[in-house]
Amino acid sequence: MNAPARTADLVVDAYAPTAVRHRTVDVEGVRMFYREAGPADAPTVLLLHGFPSASHMFRNLIPQLAERYRVVAPDFPGFGLTQVPSGFRYTFDNLAHVVDGFTQAIGLSRYAIYVFDYGAPVGWRLAMAHPERISAIVTQNGNGYEAGLGEGPWAPIKAYWNHPDEAHRRELHALVSDEMTQWQYLDGVPDPTRVAPDGYLLDQYFLSRPGQLDIQMDLFLDYASNVALYPALHAYFRAHRPPLLAVWGRNDTIFIPPGAEAFKRDLPDAEIHFVDSGHFALETHHAEIGARMLDFLGRVVK
Catalytic residues: 279
Which amino acid is located at 299 in the chain?
Answer: R
Q: Considering Cα of 290, then 106, then 143, then 134, what sign does the dihedral take?
A: negative
Residue type, 52: P
Residues ≥6 apart with Cβ < 8 Å to 174: 180
**What are the φ/ψ torsions at residue 108 (nearest 5 degrees)?**
-90, 115
**What is the rounded distance in angstroms from the CA atom of residue 100 to the CA atom of residue 56?**
20
Which residue type is seen at 18? T
Strand order in the sheet with 134-139: 21-27, 30-37, 70-74, 44-48, 111-115, 134-139, 244-249, 271-275
Q: Kindly tell me the sign of the dihedral angle through the C-alpha atoms of 198, 106, 101, 93.
A: negative
Contact 17, 66 (CB under 8 A): yes
Q: In a 3-state reduction of DSSP, which class is residue 265?
A: helix
Within 13 A of 20's CA, how many CA atoms are on the CB side? 17
Distance of CA 136 to the CA centre of its chain: 15
